[in-house]
Structure formats: structure tokens, C-alpha cells
Amino acid sequence: MKIALFQLHAHEIEACASTGVPTDRIAQLLSLAEDHNADLAVFPEGFPFITDSETAAPPSLDEVIATLHRIPPHSLAFIVGGYIMECGDQRNASFLVHDGQVHAPYFKRVPWLDEPFKPGTALLRWSWSGHQVIPLICADVCVPWNEPDGRAAQMLGEAAALGVGPSCPIIVSTFGTDLRTPYWTEPLRAWARACNAPILISAIAGRSTATFLEGSKRRHYGGGGSGTYWCEEGRDHVWPCTKDSKLAGMYLADTLEPESLTLPLPLPLHNRGCLCGCPLPARSSPRSLYLLFTGSLFGTFLVGGVLAYGAAMGAWLLSATPKLLFPKPPSR
């Protein structure tokens, strides 16, 4: 199976809290993945249903499904998610969408720090067009491994019962950080070994505006880390290497063949700015430069002085040019 892991810039995801669901952007990225024969596209945790402390309550499950139905039907399956309200409870959810159909949501099991949501109670498997995957979200992988309490073993058992294996990989969406440190790499490798299955993770690039408190230090999310973990002949593998996993891009992973590659993301259709949605600076015109310098008393004197100097130099050149070009012959 070819899986396109979209590592978006943190700011592009956070912008959805105020701008809403970027349906055109999603369609644009799905077309990119389809052009490279992907079977599945995966977006990071929180995209596009992210919230912040200043926004209204998350959308209801019915509203989310209606929104996903408004995305033009696509033959390429894709995974999106974020915060929603379900039966009066806030959830952190993932959705698989294929051909306009929204499959049953997966609800995140394990909170990160004081993340406010009602945890899910079971894993599930999504199946479509001969493919199948098992979704997880962020802390579902790393927290139970680093803080052992039996949940990791329980979820591994559930994954085995659902048929995890080489043809049924595990997909992890995250808005996390430090993904190439032992806190993350050890549980990801352990899941790959225990399940004998590829573990694919879609992370975020750049540095988020949102922060979390680690000890006495305020930290940001981001830094990349998307890729694939697998075990082959008793050896752990990861693609890409750490230095190549940091930038925003489409990380196209093949779970069967060694044909993985990384591609840059196109600029958003509505904003040909940077990948995090920042507009390109407007080109200055002579008129705007004049207003810039004459907007203050100092600027007015500066412009006046430059113009006066230019006029004086022009007059000198006009008077001196004939003498320079046609000097009188020297007297004998």
C-alpha cells in the first residue's frame, strides 16, 4: 500500500481554528497524492478540526460528518480529525473518508498531559477497496509505553485481534514534538516488532503557537518526524532519517516496496504565500516608497535633500558634458 503522510506546518493547522475547514486545500493535497498513485492520505492530528481556548465549542459529530461530505468525493481514501462533540462529550477523533463516505470515527484513548476530552474505549479497523488500517492518535502510542500501566499491552492485544500485520498497518496522527527521541522511537519500534506491521506516523513541521509546560519550561509542538517504522529479519528500520524528516512535505511511503520518497507541498490555492499560510510581501511601487519616506518630517527633508542633490548633479553634468566630450586642443 502507498500511503501519503502529509506533514503540514503547525501554523497551517492552527489557522483552521479561525478560518474553518480548508476544503480547497484538502482537495489540492489529495490530488497531489493521487498523482503519485497513493492508496491513502493521512493528515496530522487536529487537522482540520482544531480548537483553541478562544474559539467556540468544537463542532458536533453530525456537523463534522456534514462538513466532510462537502469535500468533493475522492477515490483516494484520507484520514482527518480533531476535536468534536459527541453526545455532550468532547472527543479527539480521527475519520476515514473514501468516495464521499465517512467511516465510523476512532476516539483517542490516552490524553496528553491535561488534554480535555473523554477517552475512547476500543481500537477499530477501517477497510476499503481491499485495504485496511488501524488508527491511533498521538499519546495512544507514547504515553502508555513510557508510563506503564497495562494500557499498552491491552491495545496491542486489541490490534492483534483486529488482524494487524504486514497488510494491515497502524496509522498514527500526531500534533506532537520530539518524535525522533527515545520517548517516541522506542514505543514505535516496539509496536512495529510486536505487531509485525509497519507503523506510519503523520506529524507536524515548524513550531506551533500553542505551548505546553514540561517541568518549569514552556515548550512548543512541532519539529517534524513523519515516517515509517518496521522490523525486518530482527532489525528495526525507520524512514526517512531524522535530518530528512523535519520539513513540511508529502512523505510517500510504500509498505511493500522500497520506493518511498519526499515531495514539497504546493502553496495553498487561495494564498500563494509560504507553506504556513503567510502572505508574500507586497511589492513596493514608486508611489508607496514616496509615501513611506514622506510620512514623517525627517523623511520629507530626506527626500527633498536627495532631489535637490540630484538636480544639482544633473545641472553640472549638462554644463560639463560638452567640455568632457569635446575638450579644446592644447595650445602649442
Domain ranges of the chain: 2-263, 286-325
Smallest Cα–Cα separation from 112: which of 56, 174, 58, 192? 174
Percent of the chain with pLDDT over 90: 73
User: How many CA atoms lie less than 13 Å away from 28 in the CB half-sphere?
Assistant: 11
* pLDDT one-digit tens code per residue, 154-197: 999 999 999 999 999 999 999 999 999 999 999 999 999 999 99
Q: What is the pLDDT of residue 321?
A: 47
Report the amino acid identity of residue 207.
Answer: R
Q: Are 64 and 17 in contact (CB under 8 A)?
A: no
Length of the chain: 332
Name the DSSP letter for residue 242.
G
Q: What is the pTM of this model?
A: 0.81
The CATH homologous superfamily of the domain defined by 2-263: Carbon-nitrogen hydrolase (3.60.110.10)
Q: Partners of 207 in the beta sheet?
A: 222
Contacts of 319 (CB under 8 A, 6+ apart): none
Summary mean pLDDT of the chain? 86
Residue 265 C-alpha from the chain's centroid: 10
Contact 14, 47 (CB under 8 A): no
Element (H, E) at 251: strand 249-254
> For 217, phi and psi rounded to 5 degrees?
-110, 130
H/E element, 9: strand 2-9
Cell match 475547514: residue? 21
For residue 268, cis peptide bond before it (omega within 30 degrees of 0): no
**Per-residue pLDDT tens digits for 228-277:** 999 999 999 999 999 999 999 999 999 988 778 999 999 987 654 444 44
Contacts of 300 (CB under 8 A, 6+ apart): 293, 294
pLDDT given at position 200: 98
Asked if pLDDT for residue 53 goes beyond 80, the answer is no
Band of residue 296 on the pLDDT scale cut at 50, 70, 90 = very low
Inter-residue long-range contacts of 16-19, CB under 8 Å, 24+ positions, other chains counted = 16/46, 16/47, 16/48, 16/49, 16/50, 16/82, 17/50, 17/51, 17/52, 17/55, 18/55
Average pLDDT in the 282-309 region?
A: 47
| 207 pLDDT more than 50 | yes
Task: Please give the pLDDT value at position 272.
Answer: 46
